[in-house]
Chains A and B, each alone.
Chain A
Amino acid sequence: MDLSRKDFIALKYMSADEILHVLDTAETMKYLLDKKNKKAPHLNGKSMILLFYEPSVRTRLSYEMAGQFLSASVVNMEVSTLPENGGNLKEMGPLIDQMGVDFIVIRHPMSGSAELLAKYSKASVINAGDGLNENPAQSLMDLLTIRSHKKDFKGLKVTIIGDVAHSRVSRSNIWGLLKLGASLTISGPPTLIPPGIEEYGVKVCKDAREAATGADVIMSLRLKSERQQANLMPSQNEYRNFFKIDEEMLKCANKDAIVMHPGPINRGIEISTKVIESERCLVDDQITNGVAVRMAQLYILSLGNAKRETEGKK
């Protein structure tokens, strides 16, 4: 398949075929990850910078490992959004270009920032989370995890429970899963449901158990304490009573339903410990798949870049 995008910004901009192609490529990367010698030469001589305007441990580590395994030189950079500290993306793009960087992995607190940087930089930009918008890799690893257990997305019933409004992972998952033909239901405190989401074909349920009924996949999301401070909900305790994924709730779901979470989990609030420790909970798979998916992203972009280069020379 020909995937010659310069950048990896959002699943909402990708076709179903493109998404599946990334998943296929990630499968081959998983094969590499299972080997004793994990070094592959795919990105030999290429450089990537991790430009993080938000603190992150797991995502950064995951991208760094992905780059290292593919032999790219990786530079880490944590910056503030203040203009004097590199916060101006219009200046930052050309600056990074001048230093000969091939890939920029950007995480930023504002929606649309990766898209903006891509406009101003010649390097391939990978969105590692922008504001409330998207986190494509995080979603792709969820899709990979689902596919390894469920085989087909068409007609798959996926239920997302929690703070969907403030979750970029859930946005990426929603756009991705809709394109792949899954049927989507979301549930959470009504104050944390994004407006008008039904218009895109997502079912919204007030009752989490009803949402979980017949589900093949149940995804929980991280609940931040800021929501309580913003008066969007009364307490974590109340949230737990209505939206915690526990064995009771799983009884409503399909027998072989799987449970996922982008992590880190608030144990006992978002998911019960018993469920976390059960075989149904695939949080560990998600993390391994995260590295594979990110390797796939880098590799696919590098192929596209090489193709563009040769076409440019012709």
Chain B
Amino acid sequence: MKTVIKDAKVRGADGKETLKNINIVDGVIESISDEITLSGPKIYDAGGKYALPGFIDLNCNICDPGYESRENIQTISQSAAKAGFTSITCSPLTSPVIDNKTMVMYIKDKAKDLSAVNIFPYGSMSKEGQGKEMAEIGEMYSAGIVGVSDGNVSICNANLMRNILIYSSMFDLPVITFCENPELAACGVMNYGTVSTVAGLIGKPREAEETYIARNLILAKHNKGRLHITHVSTQESVEIIRYAKKMGVNVTCDTCPHYFTLSENKVDGYNTFAKVNPPLRTVTDIAAIIEGLRDGTIDAISTGHSPTFVENKWSEFDKADFGISSMETAFALCYTTLVKTGVLTIWQLAEKLSKSPAKILKLNTRGEISPGMDADICIIDDKKEYRINAKSFESKAKFSPHDTDVVTGMVTATFVSGNLVYSLA
């Protein structure tokens, strides 16, 4: 099958932006040239818009199996396609938990049948996600996981965490850790601080995140293994990771758009749409996260998409579910906050969303637009200004703390292996 993406703005070898044609044969980029080199291809006219490598989400809950009424493989795949994500990973904390090769195969098979985008499963690092015994990491590796993860429940047992890091090095798998000390986070529902004081809500202190990040970094420093820290949300977390990287710790990390676009003040009026985990922090943290993205301390941006029922948000703040529908707002928020303001160039943003995640997950044929790579590409209208409308989400979770916000940057088409899986009507 031959496809050509015509007149796409790409980055040439000299780093300058030029309009080129991307020639695709059987899902692989054959060449990027001034001419259309293929005979009789399907032609997609990009009309001078940006072609970026399809985004890769390091952190996403697809809720399938077990919680399909919140989200399922079909809806998340449509949502991802619309958002420009050509590959997503999935949290292992489904029901049952993805902690064995059968479950890995189930996800892969189901994704093959129903998903328009690539779904790369994570395996739970502990059996049943309980944080007590190591799961069969090798078996799952053979079945095709791209990393081991704790979902969003940290491993409290430091010895187990250490052993998982060491053991998984046999497969060179990234160990994706969500860092939150449950004893410190306890029954907190938002950030601990001045805003929680006024709201009378119980806060999760930032130390809950930072102590576990520090612990995991020290474990990674002294042992083999590839540590990845997800959902970085505080200033000190960024600083600790920056220091660790200087020390030579083998670590990568990511944050989510809501941690550099929203502060804890979004909770005002008991706005449950702003109830996420880790909680939204302060303006100072936002600045530190943005600086971390700029100086490369933070390698990647994941969506942290964690759908729930909107009905579970229509309640008292304490009772409401944590969760955010952040897939379809991800690119626009990144573009508006990071590129439009000059913190990153669009190509640097593409690295955070595509190349870095591809490297972390060792998806060697993805994350870049160049000959020989998989033709996972999204087309971006960088001028398009619009209002976020949560009701129009493809995701089942049709709500957002950003609803009605005006943003810039829209995904207008998405290709997975050269196939058009989404195009703006």
* Residues in chain A within 8 A of chain B (CB atoms): 12, 81, 88-90, 108-113, 115-116, 130-134, 168, 171, 194-197, 199-200
Query: Roughly how many angstroms separate A130 CA and B200 CA in the complex, as a whole number?
Result: 9
| C-alpha gap A197/B198 in the complex (Å) | 9
Complex contact B316–A195 (CB within 8 A): no
Q: How far is the CA of A133 from the CA of B197 in the complex (A)?
A: 8
A90/B194 in contact, CB under 8 A = no
Contact check, A90 vs B314: say whether CB atoms are below 8 A apart: yes
B199 on the A face (CB < 8 A): yes
What 10 new A-B contacts, CB under 8 Å, besides A89-B315, A113-B316, A131-B318? Answer: A112-B270, A132-B201, A133-B200, A168-B200, A171-B200, A195-B196, A196-B193, A196-B194, A197-B197, A199-B194
Cβ of A111: which chain B residues have Cβ within 8 Å of it? Answer: 199-201, 270, 316-318
- Pairwise interchain contact A110-B316, C-beta atoms closer than 8 A: yes
Residue numbers in B under 8 Å from A116 (CB-CB) = 270, 315-316
Residues of B within 8 A of A (CB-CB), count? 19
Selected from A115, A130, A132, the residue in CB contact (under 8 A) with B202 is A132
Q: Evaluate whether A200 and B317 lie within 8 angstroms (CB atoms) in the complex, with A168-B200, A195-B203 already known.
A: no
CB of B331 within 8 A of chain A?
no
Task: Name A131's closest neighbour in chain B (CB-CB).
Answer: B200
| Chain B residues positioned under 8 Å from A109 (CB to CB) | 318
**Who on chain B is nearest to A88 by CB?**
B315
Known: A132-B201, A133-B200. A110 touches B193 (CB 8 A): no
Residues of B with C-beta under 8 A to A90: 314-315
Closest-by-CB residue of B relative to A175 is: B198
- A133 and B199 form a contact (CB under 8 A): yes
Residues of chain A within 8 A of B199, CB atoms compared: 111-112, 133
B422 at interface, CB cutoff 8 A: no
Q: Chain A residues near B318 (CB, 8 Å)?
A: 109-112, 131
Chain A residue numbers with a CB within 8 Å of B270 are 111-112, 115-116
Considering the chains assembled together, what is the distance between the CA atoms of A81 and B318 in angstroms?
12
> B40: shortest Cβ distance to chain A, in Å?
58
B197 near A112 with CB under 8 A, answer no
Do B194 and A112 touch (CB < 8 A)? no
Q: How far is the CB of B297 from chain A (nearest CB, A)?
A: 27
Write the nearest CB–CB distance from A81 to chain B, whole angstroms.
Answer: 8
Q: In chain B between 329 and 377, which residues have their CB closer than 8 angstroms to a CB of chain A?
A: none
Does A108 contact B316, Cβ atoms closer than 8 Å?
A: yes
Inside 8 A of A194's CB, which chain B residues have their CB?
196-197
Quote the shortest CB–CB distance from B239 to chain A (angstroms).
21
How many angstroms between the C-alpha atoms of A197 and B203 in the bound complex? 14
B311 to chain A minimum Cβ distance, whole angstroms, is 8
The reply on B192 being an interface residue by CB < 8 A is: yes
Known: A111-B270, A195-B194. Is A132-B315 also a contact (CB below 8 A)?
A: no
Contact for B194 among A88, A132, A200, CB less than 8 A: A200
Instruction: Answer whether residue B384 sits at the interface, using C-beta atoms and an 8 A cutoff.
Output: no
| B269 located at the interface, meaning its Cβ lies under 8 Å from any Cβ of chain A in the complex | yes
Query: Can you list 14 A-B pairs with a CB-CB distance of less than 8 A?
Result: A12-B198, A108-B316, A110-B318, A110-B319, A112-B270, A112-B318, A116-B270, A116-B315, A132-B201, A171-B200, A195-B194, A196-B193, A196-B194, A197-B197
Say how far A95's CB is from chain B's closest CB, in angstroms. Answer: 15
Chain A residues positioned under 8 Å from B192 (CB to CB) = 195
Inter-chain contacts of B201 with A (CB < 8 A): 111-112, 131-133
Question: Interface digits, B311-328 against A, CB 8 Å rule (1 contact, 0 not)?
Answer: 000111111000000000
CA distance A194 to B201 in the complex (A): 10
Give B172-202 interface residues, CB cut-off 8 Å to A: 192-194, 196-202
What is the minimal beta-carbon distance from B83 to any residue of chain A, in angstroms? 30
A195 and B196 alpha carbons, distance in the complex (Å): 8
By a CB distance below 8 angstroms, the chain A residues around B316 are 89, 108, 110-113, 116
Complex A-B, nearest 7 residue pairs according to Cβ-Cβ distance, in ascending order: A133-B200, A196-B194, A112-B270, A132-B200, A111-B200, A110-B316, A194-B197
CA–CA, A47 and B224, complex, Å: 70
Chain B residues, CB < 8 A from A197: 194, 197
CB distance from B201 to the nearest CB of A (A): 5
CB distance from A277 to the nearest CB of B (A): 33
Interface string of B57-96 (1 = CB under 8 A from A): 0000000000000000000000000000000000000000
Question: From B203, which residue of chain A is reached at the shortest CB distance?
Answer: A195
Q: How near does chain A come to B81, taking the closest CB pair, in angstroms? A: 33
Q: Which residues of the other chain, B, contact A196 by a CB distance below 8 angstroms?
A: 193-194, 197
